[in-house]
Structure 1
Amino acid sequence: MANQAIARRFKRSTLAAALGLCFIGGVQAQTNTAGAVGGQATAGDSITIANPATGFSRTITVGSDGTYRFAQLPIGQYTVTRNGGTPRNVTVNVGTSANVDFVSSAATGAQDLGTVTVVGNAVNPIDVASVESTTILTAEQIAKIPVPRDTTSVALLAPGTVRGDAAFGNLASFGGASVAENAYFINGFNITNSFRNLNFAQVPFEAIAEQQIKTGGYGAEFGRSLGGVVNQITKRGTNDFHAGGNVFWAPDSLRSEVKSAYLANPLTPGAFGSLRSDNHEDSFEEWRANVWASGALIKDRLFAYGLLSYGHQDADTWGNVTSTQNSSDSIKIPTWLLKLDWNITDSHILEFTAFSDKIKTDSDVYANRPGVVERLNLIGTDFREQGGDNYILKYTGYLTDSFTLSALAGYGKFARSQHLRTAAGLPVEYTGDINSIATGCPLITDARPEYRRNITGVYSSTCNITGSSATGGTIERTDSGDTRKQFRLDAEWQLGDHLLRFGYDRDDFTSKAGVAFEGGFQWRYTTTDPDGIENTGDEFDIVRQQFFQQGATVEVKQHAYYIQDSWNVTDNFIAYLGGRWDTFENLNGAGESYVKINNQFGPRLGFSWDVFGDSTFKVFGNAGRYALPLTPSVAVRGASASLFSRELFDFDQTVDPVTGAPINPVAQPGTFRYLNSEDGRGKNPLTIASQNLDPMYQDEYILGFQKAINEHFSLGVRGIFRDLKQAIDDNCDYTAIYEQAVAQGLTPLLPNPGFPYCRMFNPGKDAVFVTDVEGDGVLRTYNVPGARLSPQAKRTYSAIEFFADGNWDKFFLQGSYTYAKSKGNTEGGVKSDIGQNDTSVTQDFDYLELTTDTYGYLPNDRRHTLKLFGNYQFTDEWSVGANLLVQSGRPLNCIGVLDRDPTRAPGAPPNVDTYDPHPYDAAFMRCNNLPVPRGTRGRLPWTTNIDLNLAYKPGWAPGLQLKMDVFNVMNSQKVTSVIEQAEVPESGLPSELYLLPASFQAPRTVRFMVQYDF
């Protein structure tokens, strides 16, 4: 029996050395910047852990229960010794707990293992102390596989993640959630851009040591996320001096031709099959250079790591699929990172991180005709700046053998500024003052039929081209940007069989934002045709002038308390119990609170069962509730001063050849109106949201197991169910209150700052709205039944994930297969159906009519996803890597108008004389006046992507490495998104743009790398 127990324990250590990192399940009892080492030993033993590279060392005495634990260790390679004996090597990774036993547990017999030496990587292949769904990838692993060097691309390697819609940029969807529901951290600091939750600080990727992707079940220390968490740890200095540099280059000459887009709506036979976007002359080229150095400023005490990165990107787009614009981008990206680590003593550590991710983009915008490769006159140049500087200070104190305390303070700035210059050199900018007008030329939209457009010569404009502007519509204020101030305190306390963690997290986010029409306003030309027959002489044109501008400095204040306990009920069974209490407060442009939610409770429960007691087979499960605050972007327009007006004009059928504006317009009496009560005055904060508003929150349940098949290979499976219990969105049907007020004998006054059209609410829940009905300052309370406004928001995600990890001497392979369903009547924070990025205020629940037939399979529903990636080192100098992704397509919709003509028969074409569309235009799940429930118009095609690389490390030049990555080797360019709006709002007739491809798989691209380390 003794020999068998030792053999089992030795097998466990061998597995650890062989497998290395794998897909781990675990709610970890350590911070999001560190790992831990623990295990079994004899009571009274002295256990010492040391990092030879930094001189760090700690010694603790084993407690009476025979267990020991080193908490909150910086990631790296360590040695562990008992009573000064033979050291064992162990690797500490972020968020994981490595196990090194010197005696076996009760589950396998109390045998002394002091003579067994662990070699290589001693991280347990199966972390039996955890219940979380986590993938960890190190810099070494990422470098060996062909993957773009950015945060999202690496996150997409994890099971349960899919790429979000192209309309939102390079973002991932986790577990069916929208791309606006994730959280991103660097060295413990939240780098999520909370303005819309659609961006995050881009740390220079060469500085990343590890990236942890949490796709579910994460502990109470993490919050403000319904999707997933991406947690990155940067590299740091050691006693040894290291320096190096590399250059990445992706030449356009080796990039395959971009696929062109053709009109695809069979209901428009005259246009079907016509070339809409000729992309064969599109070009894209980029390069990036990085240099770095690290070492000890004071041996064993003070260390530094620094990196400087500079890149350049040129993109030329000739035929845009949805507009008549072309752009040529030049992106200059000087970024940097500095990491300082000070081991004040072996019991006190201070870390400082600073980095900059500023990006400047210049885009020249030209006019062209759809489907024609041409370059007409220059419209203007769009200048944008994004990103900023971030500073993080963290202290860790090992105050006793069993108590550890850490404190973090961080400050970050993020710019979102924009200004323009017209072809004639005219500056175009918006200062953000609600009473100011953006400079430049007015925006011109010509919605007249083709046979009417040529008579006015609008196309000859040199300031603005019909349907075009340098921005396509609105311009951001020049000083747009965000500021984050964050502080958190975390403590860990080992009390016998209980490992307690508790803490406080404060995160205040301030946004300065606003947009306005380029040129200050928009002219929109339309034609009135009394007899409905083209070109009979009774037609006449009218023009609508529209103003739209907003600007404010808004804020969200957030804090949370959490506590969690990992309880070793037995030697091989751990129970996890946690709770988190979140408070969210949103402030408008006047600094007034309009939404505050106190102490939203998020329970977390879980268990982990080490079935055989040797870490080779784990069964785990968890259940948790996760909440999401309201983004600051909501307040810029919805809770602060804004202006939105329209007025109709007659004109003498001629336009200014420079500006495109009508000549001698005459206002039609009685047509001027403010929309949505947006008349430029500030809004009463008490009227903006339902008084019983709850945060957006979701319940999650996971059950799974993981099994080591042998010393080289492990398999696992988990089932996941997520249920959105409550959403936050806006509703704009003010008639629910208007009718109650009239019934009370009141006379509602609109517009009125105390009577907003749109208000924040929980869809399906009875709302309590406060309103100044008559504009006299008297606030009245109205209870509106949830069914009067909208059905309950629904979104469920159910999936089964199979994951595997293999590691041999010269070969490693990781992979997963996910079968998933994402179903409901809302995607969440954003709306991929129409590319709407107004987080938390999509049009989903604006009116009850918009919610009809919206329940079905959602945009992030990818039923099947297969991922495989790995590397084979076939000689000491040569290696090859591969990355495979096979995925089914997303569901399709037919989004059309709602014709309110009661005489129109279902399926009949619109009657030109009685056509009466709902003002939300093409926004309903219906086409040709017939219902088309969500997701019932088929699916996009399956996609397959194969990436390969070849690396050469010549033995004659140590430190030199050459590598070539080929992305999308087969050059598969399947459609990944299409235009789903199927009808023309002005007529209700089929739109020729329906089903037009809006994005394809990226074409085959080759990237070269040269790197030298010393």
Structure 2
Amino acid sequence: MVFVRNICLLLLLLANLGIFPATASAQTAELRGAISDDSGAILPGVTVTIRQTDTGIERSAVTDDRGLFRAPALQPGPYRITSELMGFKTDARTLRLTVGDVSEVRITLPVGQMSETIQVIGTAAAVDTTKADLSGVVSEKQLADLPVLNRGFVGLAQLLPGGGPSRAGDARFGIQTAFGGTNVRSMYTMQIDGSDLDHPIYGLAVVNVNQDAVQEFRVLRNQYDAEYSRAGTAVVNVLTRSGTNDWHGMGSYYGRDAKLNAQNAFATTKPPFDSTRVSGTFGGPVLENRAHFFGAVERLRQNSVQIIALPAANPFASAWNGVYGNANNETTGDGKVDYQVNPNHAVNVRYLYDNLKQPSDYVLAEQYINKAHDVAGTWNWNISSSKLNTVYAGYLDQDTLRFQSTPDAQVVRPSFTSGRSPNLPQGFPRKRWRLNETFFWAPAPHALKFGTRFAHEILNYDADYYGSGVWEFNTDRPFNAVDPATWPFRYTTGSGPQSKLYENNEWGFFAQDDWRVAARLTLNLGLRYDFDSNLRSNDFIAQLVADPAFAGLSNLVKSPRGNDYAHVQPRLGFAWDTLGTGRFVVRGGWGVYAVRNRPWFNIRGQVVSSQFTAEVTNPALLGAYPDRTAVLGGKSISDYIKTAGGRALYLPGDDLDLPTVQNVTLGFAKTLTANTTIEVDGIHQKQSHLQTGHDANLPARGPLATNPRPYPQFGTVTLIDGTTSSWYDALQTSFKSRYRSATFQVSYTLAKSISDGTNDNANTSTDPWHTFGNDDRGLDENDRRHALSWTSIMQLPYDIQVSAIVSLHTGNPWDITAGQDLNGDGINSDRPAGLVKDAGGWANDTNLAIINAFRASRGRAPIAMDLLTQGSGDQLVDVRLMKAIRLAPRWGAHAQLDLFFEGYNLFNHVNYENPSGNMSSASFAVRTVARDPRQLQWGARFRF
């Protein structure tokens, strides 16, 4: 603790000196250079003028006594770099900087007159010679020319090493992208123009940006600077477009219809479908070379269906099978203004808007509404040629609503669950303020950044937990009042709607030094510290412990119990330019990364624990199903709890910590030809303190029916603690090439993920008596062994372009459970002894034997190995064919009309979701859901 305290004091001291970080700096680029004469002697005092050719904005730098210069916080885009020194010829070269890029140029000035200029084109090193991080950019051209279904541009990140579709059921906007063997909820962050716009509960970005408004984005994975926080496996930096000195605009139309779609594998007829998406952008100068604006708007109207296709053997098939209509309606908008006040000061302001509604005719479907406004501003102060300061401020106002249209009580059976989910409806009105600052300083041979990150968040939670009640059964047989085997084993009900508020401050401090130890070797040295002020909801816990209505709670949670202050995060990396030519770089590093908290546990705990939530497990009462009053013995919920106990609680535990990730990487990047590079990296990752729930009010051993709870005044007391770990090992490779009018990119990842307990963000444990270091070890739900992607963009004669994406992914494993409470702990997701978690999707004779023995004991037929090994892999080929019609100069210097036709899953391969893993169900190991079949889309785009 003394060490931690001293580190905190040091970083706070740096902050008070005016040295702060901002996530906004990650949205810019950096140029570094070394200048020498013909003999290789260093040249100090060279004036380097860096001009952004689209906007005319300039920055100047001067080489130091080592011949080095550095220009941080540059707006990504095309640049002209001019180097001048009396007695030498002038060097002028052009290059393009991308978001988050650190480009290095080596410039040689021949002796001569300054009036003589040497013109050089595109001379930055093809591979990064100064950074150990692993990253890739999805470029402006890829965003404009590759086929992207639903215009979900972040899906293109799946084309980079380590990326893949997330199947963990944690996405609200369709299939999301996961990185490094983790889920969407907490392990990576998305920053849009410096704003961290992750949903605090679901993880995905809360604002969907019009793809035509995105300039480019970079994905940093598994190894990155101390500047980056709240992410364990990846950071996605999205840069929206800005205006330029030229007037530019774009109008786009995309259409789809059921007539051009193939039929889903589980549909008996081709279901209705139509989609219309229109988009417009416009930008230009306010003051040439100084002030520019850009704006964009997009509108989506999509009507589709949800197919329920339970197998005929499922007793609920006739009641629920069908085709149900749904819709996806969304409006997005953004605007940006950039202003170069004078040569040393620049500001910008950006606004984002998103309004999404997803209604459904299926009464069990979750309906979703999301509305968000985000505004952010940045001020860059160029103090000197070696010092620059960036201030960033942002505000997010967002509201999410989830609900179902059914009012019925939820009925949970092995083969089907009907009725209203116990956590719906729920609303998340949210406000978030951000204030950051970055200070850059480049005293040769160092490139330093220091600072702080601050965010204040207010999250409201409106919910009606168990408002309709939940009946849980161990059988599919209809209820029979004279047959106790058909009765529910538990009934849970709540006392009514609650509205709670969770307030939290997030602090982060960092220092980063990219130290050029030698001409060919750069060390990346970083130190970061993060903490949350309200991680464990200590004030709320103190109120409960002091409340006589919760007598005995102090035996389960402590108060006071402190906070998690242990997140000092050192990061060490190196980049070795082995030949000194920038063509072959060996890189590696080790780092510790604290992940953002998911306040779902905090805010749900306040709602569930503040209301009266009763659990009834007495068979004598449960025989009165479905009469709620009779099951409660004719009492109100509060009176039942006073006399029979069983009040359910849900709380952050004493050991709830921020999850922590340690990454070790080693690899190389090599330029094979002027336009071809290859990268190969090995990764070892350990995730610790993953947040998992367990029932803290269970007897030491044995079923609840014969062993009373230690504190009978309470029922299930779910405590969320950081109790499990996972490991990820991967070999990530990429190959990029450009040949004449074609570009190619291939990425391949070989990986394995395992974990030693229930999955991250799980509410319950299947092994409750082994909470810490339990023996529930096996493949992680996010394990994906192989991921291969291939993309190409080819320009053909007659202004015809063909682009394609080929994606091949093996599936995630699927968990297999009994679907029944085998050990009497009140949890019906147990597994028979010896059956490892996530056993579905791979062949194992022992697992198959355990499964079939259990099914035989329940009168179910055995399954064959081919059913056990079913998976959810992808085989997709997406193609775009485009014809450009040039309209210049009549309609403007850059006017062009693009007509295109796109095919998604062109060969109509059936890509299944994982089957049911409930061994007691008639649908066990039976596939019932297939992802989208072939879909065709047409469109037009006018650019000027």
Q: Deviations over 1:437-491 (max 9, x none)?
A: xxxx442638699xxxxxxxxxxxxxxxx9644x5554224x5322221111111
Equivalent-residue separation in structure 2 for 1:728 and 1:94 (angstroms):
33
Give the C-alpha shift of residue 524 in structure 1: 3.8
Residue 345 (structure 1) aligned to one of 328, 337, 342: 342
Farther-moved stretch of structure 1 (542-551 vs 219-228): 542-551
Equivalent-residue separation in structure 2 for 1:351 and 1:482 (angstroms):
25
Matches within 5 A, 1:592-671: 596-598=563-565, 600-639=567-606, 641-647=610-616, 662=627, 665=630, 668=633
Residue 713 (structure 2) aligned to one of 731, 751, 756: 751
What secondary structure is seen at the aligned counterpart in 2 of 1:223?
coil
1:238·1:295 contact (CA, 8 Å) conserved in 2?
A: yes
Q: Which residue does the alignment assign to 1:6?
A: none
Equivalent-residue separation in structure 1 for 2:485 and 2:765 (angstroms):
33
2:412·2:418 contact (CA, 8 Å) conserved in 1?
A: no
What secondary structure is seen at the aligned counterpart in 2 of 1:155?
helix
Residue 699 (structure 1) aligned to one of 662, 665, 685: 662
Q: Which amino acid aligns with 2:378?
A: K
Give the C-alpha shift of residue 535 in structure 1: 8.9
Q: Which residue does the alignment assign to 1:833?
A: none
Q: Which residue does the alignment assign to 2:411?
A: 445
Give the C-alpha shift of residue 736 in structure 1: 7.5
Give the C-alpha shift of residue 292 in structure 1: 1.1
Q: Deviations over 1:888-944 (max 9, x none)?
A: 2333442115775xxxxxxxxxxxxxxx744211x2332xx6634543662434532
Q: Which amino acid aligns with 1:699?
A: Q
Give the C-alpha shift of residue 1008 in structure 1: 1.6
Q: Which residue does the alignment assign to 2:706?
A: none
1:634·1:840 contact (CA, 8 Å) conserved in 2?
A: no
Q: Deviations over 1:149-190 (max 9, x none)?
A: 214311111111121116222222211122221101001110
Equivalent-residue separation in structure 1 for 2:624 and 2:181 (angstroms):
52
Equivalent-residue separation in structure 1 for 2:807 and 2:112 (angstroms):
47
2:695·2:719 contact (CA, 8 Å) conserved in 1?
A: yes
Q: Which residue does the alignment assign to 2:438?
A: 490
Q: Which residue does the alignment assign to 2:148?
A: 147
Q: Deviations over 1:479-506 (max 9, x none)?
A: 5322221111111100110111111111
Q: 1:891 to 1:301 in 2, by over 3 A?
A: same
Report the number of matched residues: 832
1:195·1:511 contact (CA, 8 Å) conserved in 2?
A: no
Residue 503 (structure 1) aligned to one of 451, 454, 458: 451
Q: Which residue does the alignment assign to 2:687?
A: 724
Q: Deviations over 1:677-730 (max 9, x none)?
A: 88599x9xxx8422x654311211000011111112111211111012333323
Give the C-alpha shift of residue 551 in structure 1: 4.0
Q: 1:953 to 1:688 in 2, by over 3 A?
A: closer
Residue 384 (structure 2) aligned to one of 400, 403, 407: 400
Q: Which amino acid aligns with 1:935?
A: A
Structure with greater helix percent: 2
Equivalent-residue separation in structure 2 for 1:280 and 1:918 (angstroms):
45
Equivalent-residue separation in structure 2 for 1:993 and 1:650 (angstroms):
31
Q: Which residue does the alignment assign to 2:864?
A: none
1:306 and 2:295 aligned? yes
1:727·1:762 contact (CA, 8 Å) conserved in 2?
A: yes
Residue 178 (structure 2) aligned to one of 173, 177, 180: 173
Q: Which amino acid aligns with 2:69?
A: Y
What secondary structure is seen at the aligned counterpart in 2 of 1:638?
helix
Equivalent-residue separation in structure 2 for 1:515 and 1:389 (angstroms):
23
Q: Which residue does the alignment assign to 2:162?
A: 160
Q: Which amino acid aligns with 1:976?
A: E
Runs of at least 5 residues in structure 1 that lack an aligned partner in the other structure: 1-27, 105-109, 261-277, 368-380, 423-440, 450-465, 656-660, 740-746, 764-792, 830-838, 901-915, 984-990
Q: 1:827 to 1:347 in 2, by over 3 A?
A: farther
Give the C-alpha shift of residue 49 in structure 1: 1.1
Residue 911 (structure 2) aligned to one of 974, 986, 999: 974
Residue 831 (structure 2) aligned to one of 901, 925, 928: 925
Q: Which residue does the alignment assign to 2:134?
A: 133
1:358·1:389 contact (CA, 8 Å) conserved in 2?
A: no
Residue 358 (structure 2) aligned to one of 356, 361, 370: 361
Q: Which residue does the alignment assign to 1:412?
A: 396
Q: 1:413 to 1:703 in 2, by over 3 A?
A: same
Q: Which amino acid aligns with 2:667?
A: G
Matches within 5 A, 1:143-542: 143-148=144-149, 149-165=151-167, 167-169=169-171, 170-180=175-185, 181-260=187-266, 278=267, 280-319=269-308, 321=310, 327-365=324-362, 384-418=368-402, 441-443=407-409, 445=411, 468-469=418-419, 474-477=423-426, 479-516=427-464, 520-522=467-469, 524=471
Runs of at least 5 residues in structure 2 that lack an aligned partner in the other structure: 1-21, 36-42, 311-316, 543-560, 703-708, 843-868, 889-894
Give the C-alpha shift of residue 750 in structure 1: 4.3
Q: Which residue does the alignment assign to 1:995?
A: 925
Q: Which residue does the alignment assign to 2:546?
A: none
What secondary structure is seen at the aligned counterpart in 2 of 1:152?
helix
2:698·2:825 contact (CA, 8 Å) conserved in 1?
A: no
Equivalent-residue separation in structure 2 for 1:128 and 1:448 (angstroms):
57
Residue 808 (structure 1) aligned to one of 724, 731, 739: 739
Give the C-alpha shift of residue 345 in structure 1: 1.0
2:225·2:524 contact (CA, 8 Å) conserved in 1?
A: no
2:759·2:780 contact (CA, 8 Å) conserved in 1?
A: no
1:760 and 2:724 aligned? no
What secondary structure is seen at the aligned counterpart in 2 of 1:727?
strand
Q: Which residue does the alignment assign to 1:80?
A: 81
Q: Deviations over 1:83-128 (max 9, x none)?
A: 2835211211111122333228xxxxx9999988565544421110
Equivalent-residue separation in structure 2 for 1:992 and 1:139 (angstroms):
50
What secondary structure is seen at the aligned counterpart in 2 of 1:202?
coil
1:103·1:111 contact (CA, 8 Å) conserved in 2?
A: no
What secondary structure is seen at the aligned counterpart in 2 of 1:975?
coil
Q: 1:167 to 1:87 in 2, by over 3 A?
A: same
Equivalent-residue separation in structure 1 for 2:258 and 2:30 (angstroms):
46
Equivalent-residue separation in structure 2 for 1:512 and 1:678 (angstroms):
27
Give the C-alpha shift of residue 967 in structure 1: 0.9
What secondary structure is seen at the aligned counterpart in 2 of 1:1000?
coil
What secondary structure is seen at the aligned counterpart in 2 of 1:388?
strand
What secondary structure is seen at the aligned counterpart in 1 of 2:155?
helix
Q: 1:653 to 1:161 in 2, by over 3 A?
A: closer
Q: Which amino acid aligns with 1:309?
A: E
Q: Deviations over 1:731-764 (max 9, x none)?
A: 313357999xxxxxxx975436xx982323332x
Equivalent-residue separation in structure 2 for 1:336 and 1:403 (angstroms):
35
Give the C-alpha shift of residue 627 in structure 1: 1.1
Q: 1:214 to 1:481 in 2, by over 3 A?
A: same
Farther-moved stretch of structure 1 (807-816 vs 595-604): 595-604
Residue 953 (structure 1) aligned to one of 884, 907, 912: 884
Give the C-alpha shift of residue 365 in structure 1: 2.7
1:1006 and 2:940 aligned? no
Q: Which amino acid aligns with 2:721?
A: F
What secondary structure is seen at the aligned counterpart in 2 of 1:310?
strand
Q: 1:33 to 1:570 in 2, by over 3 A?
A: same
TM-score (norm: length of structure 1): 0.75
Give the C-alpha shift of residue 547 in structure 1: 1.4
Q: Deviations over 1:805-849 (max 9, x none)?
A: 1012201001112111111224753xxxxxxxxx36453664438
Equivalent-residue separation in structure 2 for 1:636 and 1:734 (angstroms):
21
2:23·2:227 contact (CA, 8 Å) conserved in 1?
A: no
